[in-house]
């Protein structure tokens, strides 16, 4: 009798619908969707959920991305046919601008300190850079430069939160968390930064630029610094050097934060 019942039950077994597992996992918050978008460095994957955009990575192999996503976030990722209205066109605007704007983000994967670092980094204007020490100073943790670097390395949404705009204190571009390190200057060049000119300043030890007419000093990539003519341009190796000569810090780029 038992064997017959088992056979009857086995005969009733049917394969689960193909979309059942993704639907269940998505419904209970154990999975995200992802789409492909285009960035200045090429195609990228963008994952999202009900909280907002959760991850951005270089688009290459979908299976590799899904494996990486599950390993980092502890949940699955499935390809999506489209975007919800809460994200929609905001995503493309955020990628183009290099800042989140009104795009909702899911930053649950980072610590509160890391979130502070990322949100401050999102304030750096397009085509400009700041040193790690600037971010640390701006968030009220001037001695936490190394921790700032670690937070940026853990950025789950590069390009949208522009960690590529943060450079080493010596002016070198440093590492980049998405793809190869060369993607960092590529993104900055796409934003209009004179990458070669900035690198040349760094090689000469120039960290700040001042105007001998306004007596104000700035980060070299600040929009105000770029307007200084060669005849009135003064180069400084440090904020202390500028202040010693009576220069005051730019209120727009706030270079004193990195001092």
Name the residues annotated as catalytic.
163
Q: Of 44, 38, 41, nearest to 187 (Cα)?
A: 41
Sign of CA dihedral 40, 150, 55, 60: positive
Query: How far is Cα 212 from Cα 228, in angstroms, rounded to an integer?
Result: 9
């Amino acid at each position: 009798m038992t064997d017959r019942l088992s056979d009857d039950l086995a005969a009733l077994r049917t394969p689960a619908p193909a979309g059942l597992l993704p639907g269940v996992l998505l419904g209970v918050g154990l999975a995200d969707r992802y789409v492909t978008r285009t960035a200045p460095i090429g195609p990228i994957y963008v994952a999202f959920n009900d909280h907002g955009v959760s991850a951005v990575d270089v688009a290459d192999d979908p299976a590799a991305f899904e494996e990486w996503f599950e390993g980092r976030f502890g949940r699955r990722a499935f390809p999506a046919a489209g975007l919800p209205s809460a994200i929609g066109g905001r995503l493309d605007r955020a990628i183009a601008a290099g800042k989140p704007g009104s795009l909702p983000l899911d930053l649950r994967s980072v610590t509160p300190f890391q979130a502070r670092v990322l949100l401050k980094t999102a304030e750096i204007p397009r085509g400009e850079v700041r040193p790690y020490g600037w971010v640390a100073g701006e968030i009220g943790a001037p001695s936490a430069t190394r921790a700032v670097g670690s937070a940026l390395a853990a950025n789950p949404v590069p390009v949208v939160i522009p960690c590529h705009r943060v450079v080493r204190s010596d002016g070198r571009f440093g590492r980049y968390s998405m793809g190869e390190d060369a993607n960092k200057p590529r993104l900055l060049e796409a934003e209009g930064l004179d990458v070669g000119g900035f690198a040349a300043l760094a090689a000469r030890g120039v960290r700040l630029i001042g105007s001998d007419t306004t007596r104000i000093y700035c980060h070299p990539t600040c929009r105000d610094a770029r307007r200084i003519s060669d005849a009135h341009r003064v180069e400084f190796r440090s904020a202390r050097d500028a202040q010693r000569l009576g220069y005051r810090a730019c209120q727009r780029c706030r270079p004193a934060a990195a001092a």
